[in-house]
Structure 1
Amino acid sequence: MELLFQALYSFFCVVGFSVIFNLPRKLIVIASINGMIGWILYYGLQNSSASFIVPALIGSICVGFIGEILASIQRHPATLYIIPGIIPFVPGYGIYYTMYHIVNQDFQNALTTGAESLFVAISIACGIVLATSIFRLIKPYLNRVKN
């Protein structure tokens, strides 16, 4: 039941950011499903993994790869699917608590939460770059098979 709620929350989170980013209406649902799939993978890995970096990396690879596939099929830029899809992964709570600890002059906890947030952000970026690079490498072979 918790997984269902997480899926719905992530779907509506991506819908909200898609509206804010002024995504075309016909792409909002597709981009939200992409973000939801990535979040389900992230959430499942987060509960089974001791690392906080691996779930964000694998989830963003999933979102990036699905975004590239959708962009290729529908002839739109991949960023229209990828950027809203990674919004649920963004470590907003970590950044908030980093600033909270800095204001309270608890620099040890600020350093810890800031480093975790930075590593998650880097893993999200690396996941997208990996997915895009892998898709660009295999796309010519897919086009040959399709033709």
Structure 2
Amino acid sequence: MTFLIQFSFSFFSSAAFGIIANIPRRALLASGFTGAIGWVIYFYFNQFFHSGAFSNFVAAFMIGCLSIFFSKKQKMPMIIFYIPGLIPLVPGGPSYEAVRAFALGDPNVGFEKLLFVMATAISIVGGLLMTSLAEQLVNKWIRFKKN
């Protein structure tokens, strides 16, 4: 039951952001699916490893792989699938809590939350970076095999 709830809410949040971002209608299902798979991977990796940074890295890597797959399949830019897919991973709650802690005069909690937000952002960027690197290596290997 947890899987269905996690999958459906993350699917709808990614698809809704796709609507707000005005992506093409034919890309909405793929964007929602990308975000849902990324969130479910994050959720279960976080349950198993208890590491938000590693879970975000793996989820961002999978979102990148799915974005590349859908971009080639639907002949659209990768970013159309990647940005809505990342929406469930964005640490909005901890960002708010960090700003709130600073505003209330509790810098220790604020810096703790800010560190979590920075680790999350860096791991998401690292996942995208590794996806791009893997795509370049695979394309180079395919070109090498053709020759």
TM-score, length-normalised on structure 2?
0.94
Distance verdict in 2 for CA 1:84–1:101, change over 3 Å: same
Matched residue type, 1:49 = F
Q: What number of residue pairs does the alignment pair up?
A: 146
Shifted more, 128-137 versus 95-104: the winner is 128-137
Q: How large is the RMSD of aligned CA atoms in angstroms? A: 1.5
Distance 2:3 2:107 in 1: 35
Alignment of 1:1-147 (within 5 A): 1-142=1-142
Shifted more, 19-28 versus 130-139: the winner is 130-139
For structure 2, the residue ranges without an aligned partner over 5 or more in a row are: none
Deviation at 1:49, TM superposition (A): 1.2
For structure 1, the residue ranges without an aligned partner over 5 or more in a row are: none
Deviation at 1:116, TM superposition (A): 0.4
TM-score, length-normalised on structure 1?
0.94
Distance 1:75 1:94 in 2: 36
The answer (yes or no) to whether the contact 1:31–1:85 under 8 Å persists in 2 is: yes
Distance 1:87 1:118 in 2: 16
Q: Once superposed, which parts of structure 1, at least 4 consecutive aligned residues long, lie more than 4 Å away?
A: 142-146
Distance 1:145 1:74 in 2: 25
